Amino acid sequence: MLSAKDTITRLGGIARGRTLQKLGFTRQSLAAHVRRGEIERVRHGVFATAPLDADTRAAIEHGGALTCASLLRRHGIWVLPVADGPHVWLGAKQHPLQHPHCVCVAHHYSGHPPLVSTDVETALLHLRRCAGEEAFFAAFESAWRLRKLSREARSRIRAALPASARWLVDLARADADSGLESLLRLRLHLLGLTLERQVTIDGVGRVDFVIAGRLIVEADGTENHDSPEHRHRDRKRDAQASALGYETLRFDYAQIVHDWPVVQAAILGAPRRMGRIR
- Render pLDDT for 62-83 as a digit per residue (tens, 0 to 9): 999 999 999 999 999 999 987 7
Domains, in order of start, for the chain: 4-51 (no CATH), 55-171 (no CATH), 179-272 (3.40.960.10)
| Dist CA 9 CA 263 (whole Å) | 52
> Average pLDDT in the 129-140 region?
97
When pLDDT is averaged across residues 200-207 and rounded to a whole number, the result is: 88
Q: Is the pLDDT of residue 224 over 70?
A: no
Residues 22-64: tens digit of each pLDDT: 999 999 999 999 999 999 999 999 999 989 999 999 999 999 9
**pLDDT (mean) for 114-121:** 96
- Kindly report, residue by residue over 236-261, the tens digit of the pLDDT: 888 998 898 889 999 999 999 999 99
Q: What is the mean pLDDT of the chain?
A: 91
| 222 pLDDT more than 70 | no
